[in-house]
A and B are shown apart, each in its own frame.
Chain A
Amino acid sequence: MANTMTLISSVNVGAGGQATISFTSIPSTYTDLKIIGSIRMANTSGDVGVYFNTAATDSSDKNVFSNGTSAASDNHSAQQSIYIAPVNTTNQTANTFSNMEMYIPNYAGSNQKSVSIDNVQENNGTAAYSTLVAGLSTKTAAISSITFYGYGGGTVSFAQYTNFYLYGIKNS
């Protein structure tokens, strides 16, 4: 059971947005990692993924999602990244952001890396997606960097004021 939680680093996107966001040189001195994100994309494409260390086709995920009217599930395999969710875009209410939490147990171990993710969109409208994801990266090396990026292509940007907080959790 975790008994400490320490902010390792945080990032806040400035004016103009960013195509990708990376935490690098993550220390291996914790037991687990937790990331909290407040996310909005600067265009209409809201699918976001995450990969550990370098991008490779080693990621898979299973997810369930609902939008207030219907629910469904999906899965992806042999992907460059683990799918996070549809996050807020310019299609949602102005100045609103998705809330995301990600937990990565035993990130510094030599086993494959599992991750659980939940995300909810905020929207003053008829639909807002909630998503739960169980993800896996078959990488066995310790996670030393984490990169977030949009699936909408190279021009997709995380909007200004998007932020991520990376916490380290120790069980002793």
Chain B
Amino acid sequence: MANPTRLEINCETGVESIIELTDAEVAQMQADAQAAEARKAEEDAAAKALANLKASAKAKLIAGKPLTAEEADTLVL
């Protein structure tokens, strides 16, 4: 199966070329994709953890229960 292609335009000549990506370029893009996916998963997990912590802190405040240090950190500016 042919690799994906790059659309390249030469600004001096105006010539457009469609060039098949090398296996190395495809591998690099896939590695970048995996890294981006992993990074996004980490960011999503961190955001979810923070939201859960804030919700827990809020619930404890309303109920008059003591907060953990982590929960308090979400409230202190």
- Bound pair: A and B? yes
Interface positions of A (Cβ within 8 A of B): 8-11, 13, 18-27, 45, 47, 49, 55, 72, 74, 76, 80-81, 147, 149-158, 166
Identify whether the interface residues of A are mostly helix, strand, loop, or mixed.
Answer: strand
Return chain B residues, CB-CB under 8 Å to A47: 36, 40
Contact between chains at B29 and A11 (CB < 8 Å): no
What is the chain B residue whose CB lies nearest that of A26? B11
18 sampled A-B residue pairs with Cβ under 8 A: A8-B11, A9-B9, A18-B4, A18-B5, A18-B6, A19-B4, A19-B6, A20-B7, A20-B29, A21-B6, A22-B8, A23-B11, A47-B36, A72-B47, A76-B39, A147-B6, A154-B21, A156-B4
Contact between chains at B9 and A154 (CB < 8 Å): no
Please tell me which one of the listed residues B4, B7, B26 contacts residue A13 in the complex, with CB atoms under 8 A apart.
B7
What is the chain A residue whose CB lies nearest that of B26? A154
By CB atoms of chain A within 10 A, which of B14, B32, B43 has the most? B32
Please tell me the size bucket of the interface on B: 20 to 34
Interface positions of B (Cβ within 8 A of A): 3-14, 16, 18, 21, 25-30, 32-34, 36, 39-40, 43, 47
Return chain A residues, CB-CB under 8 Å to B18: 18
Closest approach, in angstroms, between the C-beta of A45 and any C-beta of chain B? 8
Instruction: Give Cα A152 to B32, complex, Å.
Output: 8
Return chain A residues, CB-CB under 8 Å to B26: 154
Contact between chains at A22 and B4 (CB < 8 Å): no
Please tell me which one of the listed residues B3, B12, B28, B36 contacts residue A55 in the complex, with CB atoms under 8 A apart.
B28
